[in-house]
Amino acid sequence: MSAAHSEEERRWAMFAHLSMLLGGLLSTGWAGGIGYFLGPLVIWMLKRETMPFVADQGKEALNFAITVSLACAALWLLTVMSLGIGLVLTLPVLGLISIASLVLVIIAAVKANEGVAYRYPVALRLLK
């Protein structure tokens, strides 16, 4: 465990990552990819001025959530443009994205709780 970050800071950083999963579960079916990045966005906005570690990890979670949302939107667009025939490709890819993002978010949450700044291996760095 890192002594550089308080327990509260580590907990909020962990929540920033896990909130992506919660947002995805709660918004499935009615808000699509928007739910993925609402949790990290709210935590980052609330804590960025007072907790630097949470600001860093919130930004990282937000970048990953936006990346996943864009990938899902692209798959949805491909499905619509192919009049549904693209489901043969998009459903397996969506399944892989879902499993990979679940695993990566859990790893990130554990690392953040340990006080380690986690970087997702695949994420657009839109917020710097």
pLDDT digits (tens, 9 = 90+) for 14-53: 999 999 888 777 766 455 566 778 889 999 999 999 999 9
- Is residue 1 over pLDDT 60? no
pLDDT in tens, 67-96: 988 888 899 899 999 988 888 988 999 889
In this structure, of 20-24, 57-61, 98-102, 114-118, the range with the lowest mean pLDDT score is 20-24
Structure tokens at 20: 């992506």
Cα 19 to Cα 3: distance, rounded to the nearest angstrom? 24
- The residues, any chain, with a CB within 8 Å of residue 102's CB and separated by 6 or more, are 21
Q: What is the DSSP string of the chain?
A: --SSS-HHHHHHHHHHHHHHHHHHHHHTTTTTTHHHHHHHHHHHHHHTTT-HHHHHHHHHHHHHHHHHHHHHHHHHHHHHHTTTTTHHHHHHHHHHHHHHHHHHHHHHHHHHHTT-----SS------
pLDDT in tens, 63-75: 999 998 888 889 9
CA angle 13, 16, 22 (to 5 degrees): 140
